[in-house]
Structure 1
Amino acid sequence: MSTPPAEGRTTAPRLTVIGTGYLGATHAICMAVLGFEVLGVDVDRTKVERLAAGEVPFFEPGLPELLRKALDSGRLRFGTDFAEAAAFGDVHFVCVGTPQAPDSDAADLTYVRSAVRRLAENLDRKALVVGKSTVPVGTAAELTALVHEVAPAGEEVELAWNPEFLREGFAVQDTMNPDRLVFGVGSEWAEQQLRAAFAPVVEAHGTPVLVMDLPTAELVKVAANSFLATKISYINAMAEVCEATGADVTALAGALAHDARIGGRFLRPGLGFGGGCLPKDIRAFKHRAQELGVGQAVTFLGEVDAINKRRRARTVDLVRELAGGSLDGARIAAWGAAFKPDSDDIRDAPALDVAVLLQDAGAQVTVYDPEAMDNARRAYPQLSYADSAMDAARDADVVVLLTEWAQFREVDPEILAGVVAHRRVVDGRHALDRDLWSSAGWEYRALGRP
């Protein structure tokens, strides 16, 4: 392949993306659409073959159309050969997962270390390796030493960090038009390479570029996620207080949102956060702080996590109360399985945790989700599943909304009343119109509301 000229520059770097999961596939596809030649590399041959055939192996609005466009342009291809990646690329983005370790709260860096080692072993010329994965502070220094040790080009290979800030359901927008770009670099050359790799984004949108040292860049993502998790758990802690006093947490949140110092984003009470980022990132951050001897500074993150988990048990309590004090034999319609709408991701999904807790308490639970059904069935085969929201609610004693998909918000409570056994609903996400449902004769309950 020849390198296409990018507008305003004579040449553009060729890019590789190591790891083609949610982050990597999105990054590779979007960068190719922006005009770069891109090679996506993964050890999972099946995943590579699906992407090369034009199939996105997860749900993300808008991404399948961009994948087809990128493939048709000839600028994007996928493979499994690290030697080919090293020969092809000028800038190598490492986008592999950092799950929670199986035996502790620490981040498991096995995949990052392996990906960097396999790439570096084949780097025989000057190149830039860029970490995008969320890692504990200090990882970049460790990986720099690894690269210099194993790469044939030695210290000619530099390492930088460019943390990702993708929101599932908005990943295309967040890649093509991010609210900021963070460059953690150790040299002016590394900064210039990153600027070249993101030039179309900056030129199109004037995206702020924040240049900093490597440790600070590593901290940006985990610090941001910890702040968001804290804000979510704060309003859910207030929901607990509201439940004890008869106050309304929705009205409270609305009043707080008018304070410009606080704002209303992520101040929405409900079932709490889940997914593959916030829960494991705050635990890993707390663990790393303890390793560094500053664990006392972030002890509050333990309570943030605990508040979040308590919301799941409290939702079960609300369902039990509506069911008459016992869940034994109660028929429950569980609307939602994904951890958030516009995603099929069920990692640490509060919705499925609640469904399992309800079943363990003796309820007959039927789950429906617009996109996450296949993933849910594989992970939780003990649950029952329906083909639609109405089917899930048929003869239900209680309907519980667990993921705030638009189609659930738009259900007509009068029509739904015709299929359920009892008009009882628990709104685990504060997504339904309480007045509308109450006027249709439904008993309505939500966390933190009288």
Structure 2
Amino acid sequence: MTLRISVIGTGYLGTTLAAGLAEFGHEVIGVDIVPEVVKKLNAGQPHMFENGLEHLLEQHTRSGRLRFTLDYDDIADWADVHFLALGTPELPDGSADLSQLHATIDALAPKLTKPALVVGRSTVPVGTAPALQERLRRLAPAGDGIELAWQPEFLREGFAVGDTLRPDRLVFGVQSDHALRLLKQVYAIPLSEETPVITCDLATAELIKQAANTFLATKISFINAMAQLCQVAGGDVTVLADALGLDARIGRGHLSPGLGFGGGCFPKDIRALAVRADELGVNVLSDLIKSVEVINSAQRVELAELAIDQLGGEIAGKKVAVLGAAFKEGTDDTRDSPSLTVADYLHDRGAIVEVYDPQAHLAPRDGFTQVGSVIEAVRDADIVLHLTAWPEFRYLDPAELAPLVRSKIIIDGRLKLHAPTWRDAGWKLVQIGRAATL
């Protein structure tokens, strides 16, 4: 059954969701407040890099199933379901900023004159949904005919289109059979492919996304702490991770050692959960999260100090080539990027830092220069840092790069380079946690 669906908010989540719902056969209108963004999206052009998204946007803006607007009047009594895909950025105290959600409710609700389902997809502190439900019903002419549900998203940047079209699970936080039926109609195609469904209350739905991100962040910080121990003790953290991953109780996912996590989700989501846990008196959880963050931050400093150590303890005036600015491969997102933290750290100590990334474009900033190619970045470099695991970097020819650099030293911060190939070409390749292979 084809539904009419609005998606309010056309950031990374909302744009991908709107295109995905059109692919499922629904009529979709996306809403944003920025005219330039709406114009670009209506032309089938995303305003961020995400594999496969441009094709999906082009296909469905042409088909007529997908369009974008600035006007809430276009969606208020048109849509059967309204998805809220607003950002919840981090406030200075670590809590979530819900102002975009509140502003959207205040703009949308007074225009809702017929029954509709409003579905939250933003990551919010537990307890947010009931307050939004009360606000909706108080402001909407349709009153109790407006129902709120919560459906957390589990998109991975770089894989968001696939995660939307072929989700590994669907979580529906609902308050009625009617809401559940509507959500099952929205996702009829993935459900026909036997996608697992979890049906739960609003509070559990709110908690699931933050719990998932916190658990994954904990695994990443754990293996990075073990990498530091391997470095000192003479072990190989990649072999250790492989052995742990064969234990069905643990699994190999997110046990890849390196620079740690960053981006727009993990850091803010786990901090927001820590703040909420403190507010509710569950200090054991907030203490765990704070430890995870300490390890993650320390890993960046560890790599930067390792670079300084490889240059004999003096980095001032030395050229550092940084390969990668995005927080991970497959995206142009530089929010809380470990690569940029390392670049800033080394610049602050006097290094000349040049950064190259195949997709991320940095605003002009003090501290280092963004260049247009690997060749430009490594020319006359005293040390090369591989900090984002783009395939382009993984398959570089070290023999071709060797004549360009001043010193053939490379630190593999993602443990993705083939060490024997680099060493055979005369490079000193250093990987945190692999002291046994140096």
Shift of 1:439: 1.7
Shift of 1:295: 2.5
**Equivalent in the alignment of 2:403:** 418
Deviations 1:403-426 (A, max 9, x none): 000000000111110211111000
Contact 2:227 2:433 survives alignment (8 Å): yes
**Equivalent in the alignment of 1:404:** 389
Aligned counterpart in structure 2 of residue 166 of structure 1, from 155, 159, 177 = 155
> Residue 141 in 1 paired to residue 130 in 2?
yes
**Equivalent in the alignment of 2:289:** 301
Aligned counterpart in structure 1 of residue 414 of structure 2, from 429, 434, 437 = 429
**Equivalent in the alignment of 1:97:** 87
**Equivalent in the alignment of 1:353:** 341
Aligned-residue identity in percent: 49
How far apart, CA to CA, are the structure 1 residues paired with 2:250 and 2:23? 37
Shift of 1:84: 1.9
Shift of 1:302: 0.2
How far apart, CA to CA, are the structure 2 residues paired with 1:209 and 1:263? 22
Shift of 1:174: 0.3
> Residue 84 in 1 paired to residue 74 in 2?
yes
Aligned pairs for 1:152-231 (under 5 A) are 152-203=141-192, 205-231=193-219
Contact 1:270 1:430 survives alignment (8 Å): yes
More deviation, 75-84/281-290: 75-84
Please state whether the residue corresponding to 2:316 is helix, strand or coil: coil
Shift of 1:293: 1.6
Please state whether the residue corresponding to 1:418 is helix, strand or coil: helix
Where structure 2 has 5 or more consecutive residues not aligned to the other structure, the ranges are none
More deviation, 80-89/66-75: 80-89
Over the residues paired in the alignment, what is the CA RMSD in angstroms?
1.0
Shift of 1:444: 1.2
Contact 2:353 2:367 survives alignment (8 Å): no
Letter in 2 for 1:196: Q
**Equivalent in the alignment of 1:342:** 330
Letter in 2 for 1:396: A
Instruction: Give the count of matched residue pairs.
Output: 435
**Equivalent in the alignment of 2:42:** 52
Aligned counterpart in structure 2 of residue 13 of structure 1, from 3, 20, 25 = 3
Where structure 1 has 5 or more consecutive residues not aligned to the other structure, the ranges are 1-5, 7-11
Shift of 1:381: 4.7
More deviation, 61-70/241-250: 241-250
**Equivalent in the alignment of 1:62:** 52
Deviations 1:53-99 (A, max 9, x none): 12100000111011010011111111011122112111000001001
**Equivalent in the alignment of 2:230:** 242
What's the TM-score once normalised by structure 2's chain length?
0.98
Contact 1:366 1:392 survives alignment (8 Å): yes
Contact 1:313 1:354 survives alignment (8 Å): yes
Please state whether the residue corresponding to 1:371 is helix, strand or coil: coil
Letter in 1 for 2:377: A
Contact 1:94 1:132 survives alignment (8 Å): yes
How far apart, CA to CA, are the structure 2 residues paired with 1:280 and 1:115? 21
> Residue 438 in 1 paired to residue 423 in 2?
yes
**Equivalent in the alignment of 1:319:** 307
How far apart, CA to CA, are the structure 2 residues paired with 1:159 and 1:396? 56
Contact 1:287 1:295 survives alignment (8 Å): no
Letter in 2 for 1:416: L
**Equivalent in the alignment of 2:23:** 33
What's the TM-score once normalised by structure 1's chain length?
0.95
Aligned counterpart in structure 1 of residue 268 of structure 2, from 263, 277, 280 = 280
Shift of 1:130: 0.1
**Equivalent in the alignment of 2:363:** 377
**Equivalent in the alignment of 2:374:** 389
